Structure 1
Amino acid sequence: MSTLARPQLRRTGQARTAYLLLWAFLLLNLLIVELMLARPNTPAHNTLTTIGRVLGLHLGFALALQLLLISRLPFLDRRLGFDKLAGWHRWTGFTIFWLVVLHPTFVLLGYSQPGRIPILSEIPTLARQMPVLLGMIAAGLVGVIAVTSVRVARRRLPYEVWHAIHLLVYVVVVLGVVHQVYEGSAFKTNNFTQAYWWGLWAFAIGALLTGRLILPLIRNARHRLRVAAVIAESPDVVSVHVTGRELHKLHARAGQFFLWRFPGHNPWWQVNPWSLSAAPDGHSLRLTAKGIGTTSAGLRDLPVGTRVFAEGPYGAFTATGRTRSDTLLIAGGIGVTPIRALLEDETLDGDIVVLYRVRTSADAVLLGELRNLAHLRGARLQLLTGRTAEGNQPFSPGHLQALVPDITERDVYVCGPAAMTDAVLRSLRELRVPARQRHAEVFRLAG
């Protein structure tokens, strides 16, 4: 067995184990929820309120699961990566939204049915009960989060605004827990139910606090990150070099990203996911960003010595995920940053092809560095320019296969705008590139 095959078999086994544990956690907890409903201590008023109670219990579990997905547990992140976790996050969010719509709807229908009271007339009556009012407020906040998560709205909102709105999920969880505890009927359905819910919430909130607060505070206190240099790469792109103590203990790898904050220069709540644009060497880190939002546009004004607070490293978009000896790297726009870092990673051996998609050659950030690295590594670099049109679709299945005839025998890494990444992944599926050979970096779960 080759030296590449052994670690990749181990990696594949680790990912499979993570999936199995995630599914086991999901199915086991759903089974427990169903058992709660089998013999309730307090019968529901009628069939409609029974359905409302069923939906409410599943809503409580879905909220706890969502907390686990956004807690950035290293066990899941290192084995599955953010692109896979983003899929779980998206479907869990979709489920939460519909449960939030249906749970109160059936409860209201159940209470209005006996007296044939209009359903809207029941809302003020139930709202006089504080636990119910808190649940209504939480439902409204979920609606706001859902609306701003729609792709059309997401494209129009600056990342900083979108991120600030999504911080409301913590308010939703607090209100949801209080509603569940004091409303009572769902929280104490069976004798063991209360212990189960307290245990589940303690686990989910504990994981969140550990991954999002405790570990980042410990790491930043140890490494004491500071801005060492700020380099303009183009009129709207800037690279920030960061130094600190014992950076080799971060165990960062090319292709990973951090969540970056610059206290004193930007408000604490402004955080952005930026990939490393150079392979980490244990002495410094480099990020490269395009000035799109408030934070990224202000990077060029960062004074040297500015304190840096970084969470990470995150992501499984690394050479350790390879299953084949040869590699295809595909970048689009500023998505070139992790691709450039991967090209520098010496563990990425074998034959390497790099496809870099930009509108014009002037938009090709870090092109000079890519050319130098390609020359040193013996890699083939191809710049793909022009507007996407009927006659210019470089990532269609036919064009991809023409550019890289042995594409099915390579691991493929892709990072770029969402539309481009989706198009590449669709083509890879049509070309029957196995799923284990497809690697994509997305930031839908970050922040």
Structure 2
Amino acid sequence: MTLLAIAGAVAVVALWWPTAVVTASAPALATAIAELAGMIGSYLVCVQLLLIARVPWLERLIGLDRLVGWHTVVGAATLFLVLAHVCFMTLSQWITSGHGPIGAYLGLFDLYPDMLTATVGTAVLLLAGLLSAQALRRLLPYELWYWTHVTTYIAIFLTFLHQISAGPVFAGHPFTRGLWIAMYVATAACIVFWRVATPLMRFAEHRFEVVSVVPESARLTSVWIRSRRPDLLSVRPGQFMLFRFLAWGHLLSAHPYSISNVPADGLLRITVADLGDHSGRLRALRPGTKVLLEGPFGGFFGRRRRAGAVLLIAGGAGIGPIRGLAEQFARLGRSVVVIYRASRPEDLAFYDEFTSLPSIQVITLVGRRDELGFDPLDAESLGFYVPDAAQREAFVCGPPAMIEKTAESLKALGVPERRVQFEELSFA
């Protein structure tokens, strides 16, 4: 995938080179750099969108979580190149006209078409990039962040008009213009087909609907969903899907939730912690509410490996996918130890379900670290609770800080990296 992206960038440079005017003249050099930055940035926009277009073979090959990470990295590079394009074009005009930076930028409106749409589109792209910064994103409601990113599709269209009308590679060159348009059309087709049409077609087959809503603990809620075509329902416990409930307060955004049971008879369950406006409203869902689903995604499920025994470690809402995996492994006859970490006793869920399953040992670690005086997930504690941890296949699901600590502990206990899978509850 990386080699393909690099090859595409090389092809973009090859398109730019014949029309580049690179001389000792400072304005010409600045313009050439601006044009190249703009073209590569525009190309990376398509790469960035394809990474989250839900292309099935791409998701199976790489995994949606890694694709989202790459999407973020490519997005940062794209913003840098867009800013470089604007700055170098302004610099070129500044040197030529002798006006200040603001006057030089405004002067570009007289030289190039579609500058107004490009300015609006660029501003929206920069705003979306700013709101994606981790420090700001934590402070924003998910819906605000989500819809700010949806507007980037409009921004991309606005800046695209400027590219094909003002870019020297495209203006007066039908072949290269057609090639560039085809790249954008193909990217848009992937998004429309896999992110819009596919969920609608799947809904037409399955008619997904909410069967019941069950409070599991003070902060955890389970939602049971039925498919009318169980023979077509292919999802494993531990995987996650994107759920869009067709009800007030849920319709405008899709959220990722992990499957917390072994789907059977067309029934699947998600178990969600009350962490915000959307998740907090799940308890108000009514039976019969229709649901659009995307997925399944993720590789957080058991594959037959050398280790016959498994160690499952859950923190907070991570108990959802761990619950489904525990049942799956128990049915396969594998020895299962579940470490369940929670801050308060009232946060525990599924304890009765765990104890009803064969060959499962559940160890609950309840209390805050400052109250306990130690970290229950450090290597010494885990080694005490699970002396044979190094011989087990491990699955860990929880918040990022817990994942990091547990990874260190498992490594110290001698668990090989190839036998450890992690699922961070931070995708949304």
TM-score by length of 2: 0.88
Matched pairs, number: 422
Shift of 1:337: 0.7
Question: Matched residues in 1 for 2:130 and 2:406: separation?
Answer: 27
The answer as to whether partners of 1:41 and 1:190 remain within 8 angstroms in 2 is no
Question: Matched residues in 1 for 2:140 and 2:181: separation?
Answer: 37
Which residue does 1:103 correspond to in 2? 85
Shift of 1:364: 1.6
| More divergent stretch after superposition (415-424 vs 246-255) | 415-424
Relative distance call for 1:188 and 1:151 in structure 2 (3 A) is same
Instruction: Describe the superposition over 1:361-382 as per-residue Cα deviations: whole angstroms up to 9, x where unpaired.
Output: 2212223323333xx1x23322
Relative distance call for 1:323 and 1:317 in structure 2 (3 A) is farther
Secondary structure at the aligned position of 1:296 is classed as: helix
Higher relative contact order (CA 8 A, sep 6+): 1
Which residue does 2:44 correspond to in 1? 62
Listed as ranges, the gaps of 5+ residues in structure 2 are none
Instruction: Describe the superposition over 1:307-364 as per-residue Cα deviations: whole angstroms up to 9, x where unpaired.
Output: 2222222222222486744433221101211111111114765433322221122212
Give, as a single letter, the amino acid of the residue that structure 1 aligns with 2:117.
Answer: L
1:210 aligns with 2:189: no
Instruction: Describe the superposition over 1:110-154 as per-residue Cα deviations: whole angstroms up to 9, x where unpaired.
Output: 221223332222222224655222222222222222222222222
The answer as to whether partners of 1:334 and 1:365 remain within 8 angstroms in 2 is no
Which residue does 1:36 correspond to in 2? 15
Secondary structure at the aligned position of 1:234 is classed as: coil
Listed as ranges, the gaps of 5+ residues in structure 1 are 1-21
Instruction: Describe the superposition over 1:65-94 as per-residue Cα deviations: whole angstroms up to 9, x where unpaired.
Output: 111111111112223322222221221122
Alignment of 1:225-244 (within 5 A): 225-244=208-227
Which residue does 2:326 correspond to in 1? 343
Shift of 1:43: 6.6
Relative distance call for 1:295 and 1:47 in structure 2 (3 A) is same
Question: Matched residues in 1 for 2:307 and 2:54: separation?
Answer: 28
Instruction: Describe the superposition over 1:217-250 as per-residue Cα deviations: whole angstroms up to 9, x where unpaired.
Output: 1100010112211222234432211112113312
Question: Matched residues in 2 for 1:348 and 1:37: separation?
Answer: 58
Which residue does 1:9 correspond to in 2? none
1:363 aligns with 2:366: no
Shift of 1:423: 3.5
| More divergent stretch after superposition (249-258 vs 144-153) | 144-153
Relative distance call for 1:34 and 1:154 in structure 2 (3 A) is same
Question: Matched residues in 1 for 2:82 and 2:391: separation?
Answer: 45
The answer as to whether partners of 2:93 and 2:107 remain within 8 angstroms in 1 is no
Give, as a single letter, the amino acid of the residue that structure 2 aligns with 1:441.
Answer: E
TM-score by length of 1: 0.84
| More divergent stretch after superposition (405-414 vs 103-112) | 405-414
Which residue does 2:338 correspond to in 1? 354
Identity %: 31
Secondary structure at the aligned position of 1:156 is classed as: coil
Relative distance call for 1:353 and 1:178 in structure 2 (3 A) is farther
Find the structure with the greater CA-based Rg.
Answer: 2
Relative distance call for 1:240 and 1:182 in structure 2 (3 A) is same
Question: Matched residues in 1 for 2:340 and 2:395: separation?
Answer: 12
Which residue does 1:136 correspond to in 2? 119
Shift of 1:212: 0.2
The answer as to whether partners of 1:265 and 1:302 remain within 8 angstroms in 2 is no
Alignment of 1:5-154 (within 5 A): 22-40=1-19, 46-127=28-109, 131-154=114-137
Relative distance call for 1:423 and 1:138 in structure 2 (3 A) is farther
Which residue does 1:4 correspond to in 2? none
Which residue does 1:5 correspond to in 2? none
Which residue does 1:311 correspond to in 2? 294
Question: Matched residues in 1 for 2:261 and 2:250: separation?
Answer: 27
Question: Matched residues in 1 for 2:165 and 2:70: separation?
Answer: 30
